[in-house]
Copies of this chain bind each other. A is one copy, B any other.
Amino acid sequence: METIIAASRNADKIREIEAITERFGMKVISRDDAGLPKDEVEENGTTFEENSYIKAKAIWDISHKTTIADDSGLEVEYLDGAPGLYSARFAGDDCNYARNNEKLLSLMEGVPYEDRKARFVTVITMIFEDGEVLVARGECYGHIAEKTLGEGGFGYDPVFVPDGYEESFAEMGTDAKNRISHRAKALERLTELLSERK
């Protein structure tokens, strides 16, 4: 069985990826379990694609094994795509989920519903031993709520209401969210790309 090294240390993410890749005879282990150095890589790309590639490539460079990494963020149309690549660190050095949401809501204060369009994006990059690359993008469109809604999920989930729903990601429960999320769509796309691989 082929082993894939995940750039992530997040066990939930690794399980989620493995649910897909095991259908293709691939087992996923974390970079720590692979015994790789713990050096942090600088995510200095200008797109989600580039950052997920940078993370996967850093592991590939030291292992030359099949590797996988992801990058995600929230893009708000009215803010020209911000927080985007800076989603995790939007409120600055001492940021956390609550402060990021607070900053976003204050920037959107008074902005009418039709100008509150946003999308969540996830990009997964997989690099095979021989250098072949698969890039799977998933997007989920919606709008920014006027206040935080719900306690579930994480990140911007409490302020993001997906199209076709009246609840935020934080209100709708993990199972419902995981059926329609950007991450689910990226994993679906990865499944397609893996099945069609020559």
Contacts and interface: CB of A to CB of B under 8 A. Distances in A.
A137 B193 CA distance: 12
A10 interface: no
Given A49-B127, A192-B196, 18 more contacts: A46-B61, A47-B131, A47-B133, A48-B131, A49-B131, A49-B132, A49-B133, A50-B57, A50-B131, A53-B53, A123-B133, A133-B137, A134-B135, A135-B135, A139-B198, A185-B198, A189-B198, A196-B196
Contacts of A49: 127, 131-133
Contacts of A53: 53
A38 B196 CA distance: 37
Going nearest first, the 7 A-B pairs with the smallest beta carbon separation are A47-B131, A49-B133, A133-B135, A132-B137, A135-B135, A49-B131, A192-B196
A139 B131 CA distance: 12
A53 B50 CA distance: 9
